[in-house]
Amino acid sequence: MNEREAMEWITERGKAGSVYGLQTIRELLSRLGNPQEHLRFIHIAGTNGKGSVLAFVSTILKCAGYRVGRYISPTIFSYRERIQVSERPIAKKRMCELMTQLRKVSEAMEEDGWMQPTAFEIETAMAFLYFVEKKCDIVVLETGLGGRQDATNIVEHTIMAVFASISMDHMAILGDSLEKIAAEKSGIIKPGCVVVSMKQADAAEQVLRAQAEKLGCPFVSADIAGASGIRYGLEKQRFSYAGYRNLEITLAGIWQIENAVLAVQVIEALKENGFPIREKQLREGLYTARWPGRLTVIGRKPYFIVDGAHNEDASQKLADSLRFYFTNRRIIYIMGILRDKEYEKIIRNTAELAEQIITITPPDNPRAMHAYELAQEVRRFHPSVTVADSLAEAVEMSRLLADQDSVIVAFGSLSFLGELTRQAGIKDSRGDSYGKSGKG
C-alpha cells in the first residue's frame, strides 16, 4: 500500500470502534512472532498527565543515550507521531510496508473466524514490530484506555508501571467509582516490576498499593509535597526535588511540576535498576521535553493557547492555570467537545473565565458534539456564545474579538488542535512554525 491507501485502510478500521480486551491483540501478535517479547517497557497509565510524564521520561532517556521507543495516542499534527524512536516518527515508507503486512494478517484472521483487529490494536502491533526492528533499549508505552484490558497490556516485560493522576473518566467502561477505575488501571502492574505513582486520592492509592503488594512489587510514591523552591511560569517553571536543585521545565501549566516530579522519581527508580543516568542528562531532558496540545503557546500578541482539556479534572486544571497566569486579562475561548465527555462539567469549570466563547464541531470525528448543540449547553452558564461553521472561521472570529493583550484559548478535545493550529498559521513560543506549510 502507498500512504493514501494505508491511511484509508486504518481509517476504515477505526470506524469499527474499539474492543476492550486482549484476545484479538494476542492472536494478532502471535501471528507476527510476538515482537513485544523482545522489548522492555515503562508502562504508563492514568486519567490525565500520562502523556506529559511519557514526554519527560522518554526525553531524559534519549538525552542519556538510550534508544527509546515511544507509543502515544492521540496525536496532534501527524498520524506518524504515535510511533517514535528517540523522538523521530516512523518513516512514511516503513509505515506503509508494515501496514501492508498487518492488513494481510488481519484479513487472514478474519478468514479463520476471528474478528479483524481494531485500528488501535493494529497500531500497537505496528509499534512493537518497529521498535524491535530499531533495536530499542526501552519502550515508554502509554495506555489507550484504562489498563487491565487495554491492548497495550499484552506486554509482560514491564520493568516499571507508572501512574499519573487518576480521576473520573470513561466511567461507562472503567467503572463508576475511583476505586473501580484505579483497579482497571492497576492491571498494568506485572510481577517483578517497580510501581511508581503520583500521590493519588486515598481511594485510588489504596487500590494501587494493594495490587503492588499482591504481586510483590515495590511501591514508590512521587509526592509534590516533597518539592521545594517551586516557581511557576508560562514559558519556564522551576522546582527542587529528590536532591536536585532548581530543575527547570518549559511545559506550561501549573500541574506540570507534579508530572515532572513523577518523572524524576521514575528516573531515580530506573537508576537503581541498572539504567545509568547522569544529573546533566536529567536536567537536559526535563528542559527540552515537549508535549504539544497541553497548554501550548502557539502565538503571542495576543497569546494563542491550545489545550486538550477533555474531562472534568483536566478542565479544572486548565481553569486553575488560566486564573494563575492571566489574572484580569480578556479571555476568548474556542471550544469543541466530544459527545461522550462530561461536557456540562467541562463548561461549568471554565465558562466564567471567558469574555466570549466560540463553539466548533471537532471535524472528522463521529463522536463530535455539534457546535450548535454545544452552544446551547454553554448558554446555560455564559451569555456570550457564537457558533463557528469551521475551524478557520473560529480562528478568524477569535482574532477579530481579541486585542494584543487578550488571550485566545482553544480546548475541549485533542482531536481538532492540530488542524486548528495549522489554520492559525502562527509560531509557538519557541519559534517553531505550525502553519499550513510547517510542522506535521
Whether 174 and 302 map to the same domain: the answer is no
For the segment 297-315, the average pLDDT, to the nearest whole number, is 89
- Under DSSP, is residue 430 helix (H, G, I), strand (E, B) or coil? coil
Residue 426 has pLDDT above 80, yes or no: no
- At 187-207, the pLDDT tens digits run 999 999 999 999 999 999 999
Question: For residue 424, what is its C-alpha cell?
Answer: 492559525
Count Cβ neighbours within 10 Å for each residue of 290-305 and write b for 16 or more, e otherwise.
Answer: bbbbbbbbbbeebbbb
Question: What CATH number is attached to the domain comprising 348?
Answer: 3.90.190.20
What's the pLDDT at 365?
A: 82
Whether 354 and 228 map to the same domain: the answer is no
Spatial neighbors of 32 by CB under 8 A, at least 6 apart, are 101, 102, 105, 125, 128, 129
Question: For residue 209, what is its C-alpha cell?
Answer: 498499593
Whether 148 and 62 map to the same domain: the answer is yes
Residue 354 has pLDDT above 60, yes or no: yes
Whether 354 and 413 map to the same domain: the answer is yes
Whether 263 and 332 map to the same domain: the answer is no
Angle at 260 between CA 325 and CA 67, to 5 degrees: 130
Domain assignment of residue 80, yes or no = yes
What's the pLDDT at 430?
A: 38
Query: Looking at 235, 254, 288, which one is the last position of a domain?
Result: 288
For the segment 335-348, the average pLDDT, to the nearest whole number, is 92
The answer to whether 196 and 162 are in contact (CB under 8 A) is: yes
Counting the structural domains of the chain, the total is 2
Question: What CATH number is attached to the domain comprising 217?
Answer: 3.40.1190.10
Domain assignment of residue 434, yes or no = no
Count Cβ neighbours within 10 Å for each residue of 122-139 and write b for 16 or more, e otherwise.
Answer: bbbbbbbbbbbebebbbb
pLDDT range class, residue 169, cuts 50, 70, 90: low
Q: Which domain holds residue 374?
A: 296-424
Whether 318 and 204 map to the same domain: the answer is no
Say how far apart CA 97 and CA 102 lie, in whole Å.
Answer: 9
Query: Looking at 288, 316, 351, which one is the last position of a domain?
Result: 288
Task: Look at 33-37, 233-237, 291-295, 353-357 and tell me which has the smallest mean pLDDT.
Answer: 291-295
Domain assignment of residue 277, yes or no = yes
Domain assignment of residue 337, yes or no = yes
What's the pLDDT at 170?
A: 53
Domain assignment of residue 431, yes or no = no
Whether the predicted model's global pTM rises above the 0.75 cut: yes
Domain assignment of residue 160, yes or no = yes
Query: Looking at 288, 308, 332, which one is the last position of a domain?
Result: 288
Judged by phi (left if over 0) then psi (alpha if -120 to 50, else beta), residue 419 lies in alpha
Whether 273 and 182 map to the same domain: the answer is yes
Say how far apart CA 33 and CA 406 lie, in whole Å.
Answer: 55
Strands 88-89 and 138-142: unpaired
pLDDT range class, residue 432, cuts 50, 70, 90: very low
CB atoms within 10 A of CB 431: 6
Say how far apart CA 399 and CA 303 lie, in whole Å.
Answer: 10
Whether 88 and 219 map to the same domain: the answer is yes
Domain assignment of residue 322, yes or no = yes
Element (H, E) at 92: helix 92-111
| Sheet (strand 244-249) strand order | 228-231, 237-241, 244-249
Per-residue DSSP letter, 48: B
Say how far apart CA 421 and CA 306 lie, in whole Å.
Answer: 8
For the segment 209-230, the average pLDDT, to the nearest whole number, is 97
Centroid of chain to Cα 332: 24
For the segment 394-412, the average pLDDT, to the nearest whole number, is 95
Say how far apart CA 361 and CA 335 lie, in whole Å.
Answer: 9
**Longest CA–CA separation in the chain, Å:** 63
Per-residue 3-state assignment (H helix, E strand, C coil) for 209-220: HHHHHHCCCCEE
Q: What one-character-per-residue DSSP string does 163-223 give?
A: E-B--S--HHHH-SSHHHHHHHHGGG--TTPEEEEEPPPHHHHHHHHHHHHHTT--EEEE-
Whether 127 and 228 map to the same domain: the answer is yes
Residue 427 has pLDDT above 90, yes or no: no
What's the pLDDT at 433?
A: 35
Whether 171 and 277 map to the same domain: the answer is yes
Domain assignment of residue 279, yes or no = yes
For the segment 383-410, the average pLDDT, to the nearest whole number, is 96
Q: What one-character-per-residue DSSP string does 341-400 give?
A: S-HHHHHHHHGGG-SEEEE---TT-TTBPPHHHHHHHHTTT-S-EEE-SSHHHHHHHHHH
Whether 195 and 342 map to the same domain: the answer is no
Whether 302 and 264 map to the same domain: the answer is no
